[in-house]
Structure 1
Amino acid sequence: MGTMDLARSGQHARVRGGQERRDIVPPPQPFFKSLQTNLKETFFPDDPLRQFKGQPKSRKFVLGLQYFFPFLEWTPQYSLGFFKSDLIAGITIASLAIPQGISYAKLANLPPILGLYSSFVPPLIYAMMGSSRDLAVGTVAVASLLTGSMLSSAVSPTENPKLFVHLAFTATLIAGILEVTLGLLRLGFIVDFLSHATIVGFMGGAATVVCLQQLKGILGLNHFTQATDLISVMRSVFTQEHEWRWESALLGCCFLFFLLLTRYFSKKRPRFFWISAMAPLTSVILGSLLVYLTHAEKHGVQVIGYLKKGVNPPSFQDFVFFSPYFPVALKTGIVTGVIALAEGIAVGRSFAMFKNYNIDGNKEMIAFGMMNILGSCTSCYLTTGPFSRSAVNYNAGCKTAASNVVMSIAVMITLLFLTPLFHYTPLVVLSSIIVSAMLGLIDYQAAIHLYKIDKFDFLVCISAYLGVVFGSVEIGLVIAVALSILRVLLFVSRPRTFVLGNVPNSVCYRSVEQYPAAQTVPGILILEIGGPIYFTNASYLRERIIRWIDEEEERLKSSGEVGLHYVILDMSSVGCIDTSGISMLEEVKKITDRRDLKIVLANPGGEVMKKLDRSKFLESLGQEWVHLTVGEAVGACRYMLHNYKPTPDSSSVDRESWSNNV
């Protein structure tokens, strides 16, 4: 844009004064209406009530039922073809759910039968209330480890197993209540504080800890530390060398090799995914037959033992609300509930993206919460949507959540008729199943990717990993979340500011750092503020703006160029401003007034303009110094520089009369 074009632009901005310039401030809204709008945008961005608008009462009732029970939406269109796909998928994931359920219950220091109970009732609840077609519900390793380690810090699962189980049920109930509450109040954004980097590091650390814990089963040890950190586990292992059982170790290594081999084969040949899915149950069957035929339990190979027949007994009478151990159950329920939500929702969204449909995070929270509340009343412990089981469900070609029903029925049949067959299942096989599943959660490639893209995210990831491995699961989680929140606070408290210049042969103004060819405008300093202006960053921005002005004046003085007369603040990225931010602008204006400089605002948002108008800052600044774009602001300033040549002796009165001419 040439000088004459800029002059015309500035003259147009001046001629466009009067009423139109006063209309740059949005019309005021009543306080309660404004508050309602802000709350709706914060908690209901998806506007879940829009489907009810203009509908008759009978239709609203049906839509309400479908909202809380999504299965009512897809059952009318359910077909025989869907049933065939869901039947195959359900049987396939049941073959994985049964051994995994028993394994993860042992990981949580709970009776193995609770793992089967937890694979029966919760999937039925989720099939009715869940919005994902691919999520396969069940127990997960990380939540099981958390439950076992946190409760074990207060109650020994071997010395007082009954109380330990009751605490697990209570923690599950608390987790369910928390999840339902978050879903109903639409507070799902709380889970977003567990960033991708946090989850990668935390899951990797938890998987490492889980694998280390399985050394007890693989080596056939009877006594093992309740701590989860690397040092304690290694000390426990190497101080009991005399108790190592080579038979158990050999058996564990063989089955682990078999499981890893089938997984590798299924990855190379995706159409044979079912081989990897069937491998855990196959290992259980082969291990049980081997122990039964060779009487290996008499030679140091530990077995599951007796599992009673029958479906879930009620457990609502087992809650320990008035026990001195309740605070431990409360803490465990809150921590495991948040982790289960983060994992389940992340897994559900991942597979929904593959099939190009959406899931409602708040609905998922309600579904997870209800299945844990009802599960805690029927002898289940914490469940969510594990990745491994959901991946098998997805690859098996499931069409709807009915695959969970099929899996639940298969588990029910197992509970009613087949539990005696698990008597001779060696614990070392369960340990091998857990290790093979956990190795897939150590995503070192994701960590390398984080290092290449964002060093701070990599720091969060590694901190979470090291915190879990060398401290505890809770310590790792706290460190990771604290670092993530610290990063958010740093972004808010230290927003970037950039000097803008004109990109040659265009009307665009961009950062001179990003675009070295961009040219600064003589006599005008253009600064972009890269974020909202709050009390946390107001002082920083004031100092940064003044420093930019000082540096620009020194540069112009040393180069002998035209002195600085205007400071344009590009506020395109300033979505909001508070009273501290307005005070900061007032202070900057006073400083620039003393230096005979003029502040110009470019493209402030509607909310910002409302507050600047109410605070009388616009009246002090003058609405003629607020422009729609940086280009318009530059044009106006150039026009004034062209028509008025200020001198070092210009008085404030002359400057005021000059400003009033705009």
Structure 2
Amino acid sequence: MGYSAADGDEARELARASFSDREQKNLPLAYKVGVPPKKKLLSEFTERVKETLFADDPLYAYKNQPRSVQFLLGIQSFFPILSWGRDYSLKKFKGDLIAGFTIASLCIPQDIGYSKLANLDPQYGLYSSFVPPLVYAAMGSSRDIAIGPVAVVSLLLGTLLQNEFDPKTEKEEYLRLAFTATFFAGITQAALGLLRLGFLIDFLSHAAIVGFMAGTAITIGLQQLKGFLGIQNFTKNSDIISVMKSVWGSVNHGWNWQTIVIATVFLVFLLLTKYIGKKRRSLFWVPAIAPLISVILSTLFVYITRVDKHGVQIVREIKKGINPSSVHQLYFTGSNLSKGIRIGVVSGMIALTEAVAIGRTFADMKDYQLDGNKEMVALGTMNIVGSMASCYVATGSFSRSAVNNMAGCQTAVSNVVMSVIVLLTLELITPLFKYTPNAILSSIIINAVIGLIDFDAAILIWKTDKLDFIACMGAFFGVVFASVEIGLLIAVSISFAKILLQVTRPRTALLGNLPTSSIYRNIQQYPEASKVPGVIIVRVDSAVYFSNSNYVKERILRWLRDEEEELKEKNLPRIEYLIVEMSPVTDIDTSGIHAFEELYKNTKKKNIQLLLANPGPVVMEKLEASLFTELIGHEKIFLSVGEAVMSCAPKASEAA
């Protein structure tokens, strides 16, 4: 890689050859860079809004249809069940029935455990797997998502709520705030969908989510040591230091050996069934029903042996009956309203992120379309309705959705089947859970959250992007050593910091000519590419806005200075042309144009000609409107780097 007069001459000859071919074929010798026709302000604004907010809306494909058809399609867009329900069959119901029974056997013990993470009585977890799935079945567009409480959101909600009210001494206020937060979580989710703002959740990067989920899994696991070891007095803090102090501080007087034996035996059983399910996919039902079997066996064991009289903590009571109304318990006035909004927005966004990620995963797997904005409306509506029926924030569960998929679900009817079984459980079976040991619930939760720690994803992030890995680890350590909300704040902050860094410091590259071709590529990626004598070619790999325009200008001038110093040391011809390759520049604003004007003035002082290669239609339109094309000259704007280099041939060859 370096300067070579021979290589430069060869590049120019190849450029000339392409023009000779055109001449022999009676084609124009060169094309000028086109300027798109000017658009009216209103039409341009309307087009941009449609493309930004409604690009994925299928209703636009039917805009010329009769109003009755448009109305029907509009109703179907909010209630997809009206569309796929027409083709529903007994064969599909068979698959949904099996899947519904399978995920119900998994969700019932999980719901009881997850409600404890949210510092709520066990029945509230079951309530949240009864009403929300019914609403989602009518409004959701995913065939595979299983709806209900999840560990991450339960812990987050419980942590945020207990910062406001004590769940034991202020139980009524705590419960009301939980319902209020759920209501505003639903409002947030539905509003994002209706306003077509679903892209906002993409600002939380995949790497940050991986770290946040892993950190939350560790935190949830540590929280379960209370039930696993039989400790009665346990810290309210969730960070690892506080938890370990609480655990080791109660070794001599707080641990219960009978509880530890029960928890260990069933945790080993659950992990073994999970291993069997991974080894043989046809046995997916084994780990799915293992939690319910564990609850049944452990409950029978406690009832027969009455070890609850020897320090083994039990559930004691789950309120019987279906969801009572909680409309009158929501806060709509006073200081608690703002608390409910704040907690609801945070928990709603996290719940939304998890559900959309799960939905997209299975939609890609089964090759069907998932409308993210409609999913948000469905999830939001189910949480709004749920908040009025004694439910707390529900969303898509990855473990249950995976089981739902493997069990052969065909539609969202599997959620309906699960909901009906939960209904029967609330009406008939809840008294039987009286002797269920808390230890088994801790084992079930530990077994469930282990899957949230994705080592392979973390390793891949490390290999792929070190900055992404910092975001991943920042979120992880924030959750583990501080709190769930601090970890979330770190995850969001690092994600935004990365965006700002990429926007304000875009990449630029120095281009050279590949031997025996008229192709120009990054000389760092292609060491064999040679620089053209007397010419420096720089590519800008980003849109140029007010946030990075000054940096782009200074970076190009720095390339120019470095090249001039290198030429001076080697006594080679000076730079006479600066070519800026603009094909990656998708847009430019007034600050960007001003930066190019400053660049033009700087190069003119040094007696260096500024040439532009392949600006896109949006960029060219703005350069023309700002009269920059007149400043630089239309003849200095080329279709390709090759044509720009050829225009430098006469003077460059003299310099060589």
Partner of 1:314: 325
Alignment of 1:292-331 (within 5 A): 292-331=303-342
Counterpart mapping for 1:330-345 below 5 A = 330-345=341-356
Contact 2:478 2:486 in 1 (8 A): yes
How much has 1:9 moved relative to structure 2? 6.1
> What is residue 435 of structure 2 aligned with on the other side?
424
Alignment of 1:366-405 (within 5 A): 366-405=377-416
Q: How far apart, CA to CA, are the structure 2 residues paired with 1:157 and 1:3?
A: 78
Deviation of 1:446 (Å) = 1.5
Instruction: Measure, in 2, the Cα distance between the counterparts of 1:156 and 1:336.
Output: 19
1:182 aligns with 2:188: no
Equivalent residue for 1:124?
A: 134
Q: Judging changes above 3 Å, is the alpha-carbon distance between structure 1 residues 350 and 272 closer, same or farther for their aligned structure 2 residues?
A: same
Cα distance between partner residues in 2 of 1:628 and 1:382 = 55
Pair 1:118–1:2, CA change in 2 (3 A): closer
2:51 counterpart of 1:50: no
Residues 498-507 or 432-441, more deviating: 498-507
Q: SS in structure 2 opposite 1:325?
A: helix
Cα distance, 1:237 vs structure 2? 1.8
2:420 corresponds to 1:409: yes
CA deviation after TM superposition for structure 1 residue 26, in Å: 1.2
Would the aligned equivalents of 1:150 and 1:328 in 2 still touch at CA under 8 Å?
Answer: no
Deviations 1:194-217 (A, max 9, x none): 111111100000010001101111
- Which amino acid in the other structure matches residue 303 of structure 1? I
Question: Secondary structure at the residue paired with 2:538?
Answer: strand
The residue that corresponds to 2:300 in the other structure is 289
Q: How far apart, in 2, do the equivalents of 1:550 and 1:221 lie?
A: 69
Unpaired stretches in structure 2, ≥5 consecutive residues:
1-9
SS at match of 1:423: helix
What letter is aligned with 2:15? L
Q: Is the Cα contact below 8 Å between 2:182 and 2:384 reproduced in 1?
A: yes
CA distance in 2, matches of 1:623, 1:255: 77
1:403-459 per-residue CA deviation (whole Å, 9 max, x = no partner) reads 001001111111111111111111111111000001111112221121112111111
Q: 1:556 Cα deviation (Å)?
A: 2.3
Residue 486 of structure 2 is aligned with which of 460, 472, 475?
475
Rounded to whole Å, the distance in 2 between the matches of 1:206 and 1:401 is 29
Task: Find the counterpart in structure 2 of residue 659 from structure 1.
Answer: none
Instruction: Note the 1:68-467 alignment, pairs <5 A.
Output: 68-241=78-251, 242-467=253-478
8 Å Cα contact 1:17-1:624 kept in structure 2: no
Shift of 1:325: 3.0
Q: C-alpha offsets along residues 212-249 of structure 1, whole Å, 9 cap, x if unaligned?
A: 10111112222222111011111222222312111111
- Residue aligning to 2:582: 571
Distance in 2, matches of 1:2 and 1:381, equals 68
The residue that corresponds to 1:650 in the other structure is none
| Equivalent pair of 1:10/1:636 in contact (CA under 8 Å) | no
8 Å contact kept, 2:15–2:518: no
Q: Partner residue of 1:656? A: none
Distance 1:232 1:563 in 2: 66
Note if contact 1:105-1:112 (Cα within 8 Å) is conserved in structure 2: yes
User: Contact 2:14–2:517 (CA<8 Å) still a contact in 1?
Assistant: no
Counterpart of 1:494 in structure 2 is 505
- Name the CA distance, whole Å, in 1 between partners of 2:13 and 2:351: 64
Look up the match of 1:508: 519
For residues 550-629 of structure 1, the aligned pairs below 5 Å read 550-629=561-640
Asked if 1:6 corresponds to 2:12, the answer is no
CA distance in 2, matches of 1:531, 1:459: 23
1:631, CA displacement in angstroms?
1.1
d(CA) in 1 for partners of 2:222, 2:171? 23
Q: Distance in 2 between matches of 1:312 and 1:453?
A: 48
Do the aligned partners of 2:11 and 2:516 also contact (CA within 8 Å) in 1?
A: no
What RMSD over aligned residues (CA atoms) do the two structures have, in Å? 1.8
Q: What is the DSSP-based 3-state SS (H/G/I as helix, E as strand, rest coil) of the residue aligned with 1:243?
A: coil
SS at match of 2:478: helix
Q: Distance in 2 between matches of 1:121 and 1:270?
A: 31
Alpha-carbon distance, 1:563 to partner: 2.3
Q: Structure 1: where are the runs of 5+ without partners?
A: 648-662
- What SS is found at the alignment partner of 1:526? strand
Aligned mates of 1:435, 1:495 — CA distance in 2: 43
Quote how far apart the aligned CAs of 1:4 are.
Answer: 4.4
Give the match for residue 3 of structure 2. none
Per-residue deviation, residues 304-332 of structure 1 (Å, max 9, x unmatched):
12222211111111012324333332221
Q: Deviations over 1:325-358 (max 9, x none)?
A: 3333222111110100110010111111111112
Q: State the 1:626 CA deviation.
A: 0.6
2:4 is aligned to: none
Q: For residues 242 and 203 of structure 2, what CA distance do their matches in structure 1 show?
A: 30
In 2, Cα distance between equivalents of 1:602 and 1:530: 13
The alpha-carbon deviation at position 271 of structure 1 amounts to 0.5
Distance of 1:204 and 1:86 partners within structure 2 = 31
Shift of 1:53: 2.1
Q: Distance in 1 between matches of 2:35 and 2:396?
A: 49
Whole-angstrom distance in 1 between the partners of 2:548 and 2:608: 23
Matches of 1:638 and 1:67, distance apart in 2: 60
- Tell me the secondary structure at the aligned position of residue 510 of structure 1: strand
Length-normalised TM-score, structure 1: 0.94
- Describe the superposition over 1:576-628 as per-residue Cα deviations: whole angstroms up to 9, x where unpaired: 11111111111111111111111000011111111111111111001111111
Task: Verify the 8 A CA contact 1:154 1:325 in the aligned structure 2.
Answer: no
Q: Deviation string for 1:332-385 (max 9, x for gaps)?
A: 111110100110010111111111112111111001000000000000000000
- Aligned position for 2:45: 35
> What secondary structure sits across from 1:528 in the alignment?
strand
400-409 or 300-309, which deviates more: 300-309
**How far apart, CA to CA, are the structure 2 residues paired with 1:71 and 1:559?**
74
Q: Secondary structure at the match of 1:534?
A: coil
Per-residue CA distance 1:260-311 (angstroms, 9 max, x = gap): 1110111111111101000010011111111111112111111112222211
**Structure 1 partner of 2:6:** none
Query: Partners of 2:381 and 2:520 in 1: how far apart?
Result: 53
Instruction: Tell me the secondary structure at the aligned position of residue 510 of structure 2.
Output: strand
C-alpha distance in structure 2 between counterparts of 1:505 and 1:646, whole Å: 22
Task: Report how far residue 73 of structure 1 moved.
Answer: 1.5
* TM-score, structure 2 as length reference: 0.95
Instruction: Name the SS for the 2:169 alignment partner.
Output: coil
| Superposed displacement of residue 91, structure 1 | 0.3
Q: Secondary structure at 1:480's aligned position in 2?
A: helix
Q: Bigger shift: 468-477 or 632-641?
A: 632-641
Distance 2:312 2:539 in 1: 69
CA deviation profile, 1:180-200 (whole Å, cap 9, x unmatched)? 000011111110111111111
2:207–2:471 contact (8 Å) kept in structure 1: yes
Residue type at the aligned position of 2:591:
S
Task: Spell out, residue by residue over 1:446-500, the C-alpha distance to the aligned partner (whole angstroms, 9 max, x if none).
Answer: 2112111211111111111100000000111111111111111111111111111
Separation of aligned partners in 1, 2:168 and 2:262: 26
Question: Cα 1:5–1:391, aligned 2, differ >3 Å: closer, same or farther?
Answer: closer
Shift of the alpha carbon at 1:44?
2.0
Give, in angstroms, the shift of residue 3 of structure 1: 4.0
